[in-house]
Amino acid sequence: MTQRTPLYDLDLAALANFLQELGEPAFRARQVWQWLYQHYAASFAEMTSLPQGLRDKLAAVAVLDRARPVAEERSSDGQTTKVLFALPDGKLIETVRMDYDRRRTLCISSQAGCAMGCVFCATGQMGFLRHLTVGEIVAQVLYFARELATEGAHVTNIVVMGMGEPLHNYDQTLAAVDRLTDPAGFNLGARKITLSTVGLVPAIRRYADEQRQTPLAVSLHAATDAERDRLIPINRKWPLAELMAACRYYVERTGRRITFEWALIAGENDTPEQAQALGRLVRGLLCHVNLIPLNPTAGYGGDPSSRERVTAFQAELTRYGVSSTVRVRRGIDIQAGCGQLRSRVVAEGGTG
């Protein structure tokens, strides 16, 4: 049997070529594109403005979603939902929906597994499996877009902070961002999508040179090389001096504020000394620090910082003139941190 073409992997030009090979006129590409990214069609049968013959033809030679939901968990407060998707090769990825007052934020994955090996991260603990395709990244968003549409709501924000390192899968991730921000497609504002990296220096510089409007967040988590080497192995390749030079380059090239993520681990990186080192490291840079009490994982013995330690850490940053906020921890009761649901399902006998 001939393998069917996944339409979410095609950009508009490729979709037009695909339809032309099927003997269809050029204007059909725009129609199909709108059904995919504006109407969130879950099947070809739903594309009712297309001739029945074309819908049948597409059903025979193409496929829409290749990410199949296999498990779902909702937090007790009803504000966080995590879905585990199975890909065609059996790999598992996670996506999280977080509801705030007026925002509907998705945390999406860019890889199955991760090669970065951050010690406190469930995804880092599982190792790298493979990159996701453009279509597999986009499909996560469209799944929840359909769900939200039934509630009279829509996706307002996306953070590429789920499984994987987005800048390690640079071309596919940024192609997905382009797809999601296409004014003739999904049409989400570029500044509503944030990419998070642990510090791939060449990719940060490339990102800066491309002058993209999507914000950048750097998972810093330590302000000295000795501490960061323990938590984030990639720091041994690109230590803090190189990383911070790239961050300053990004701010200079784009004029945009950079965000630093800091998972506060009790007795590890929540000390006054680390807060002071961080203050010295980023003082004078156009930046903001997100302080996040650790989301515990089975593979790491660290605990989240106490409220008192968080307050003291933030006070030190204020002394250095560094703006910061403490992120609300969401979905703790369903282990909403990236990779945790997948790890549990695999441990219970699921696929990888």
Q: 328: how many CB neighbours lie within 10 A of its CB?
A: 10
Given the residues 24, 94, 268, 316, select the one marked as catalytic: 94
314-320: which pairs have CB atoms within 8 A and are 24 or more residues apart? 316/272, 316/275, 316/276, 316/279, 317/275, 317/278, 317/279, 317/289, 319/279, 320/276, 320/278, 320/279, 320/280, 320/283
What does DSSP say about strands 104-107 and 128-131: parallel, antiparallel, or unpaired?
Answer: unpaired
211 and 253 Cβ atoms separated by less than 8 Å: yes
| Tokens of residue 136, six digits | 């597999």
| Tokens of residue 259, six digits | 């965000």
Q: Of 162, 273, 263, 161, which Cα lies nearest the Cα of 215? A: 161
15 and 24 Cβ atoms separated by less than 8 Å: no
Given the residues 114, 118, 287, 338, select the one marked as catalytic: 338
DSSP track, 102-170: S-EEEE--SEEE-SS--TT-HHHHH-EEEEPPHHHHHHHHHHHHHHHHTTT----EEEE-SSS-GGGGH
Phi then psi dihedrals of residue 255, to 5 deg:
70, 10
Q: Is 94 part of the annotated catalytic residue set?
A: yes
Mutual orientation of helices 240-254 and 201-209 as an angle, nearest 10°?
10
Scanning the structure block, which residue is given the tokens 């006129």? 25
37 and 46 Cβ atoms separated by less than 8 Å: no
What does DSSP say about strands 258-264 and 216-219: parallel, antiparallel, or unpaired?
Answer: parallel
Q: Is 247 part of the annotated catalytic residue set?
A: no
Q: Which residues are catalytic?
A: 94, 338
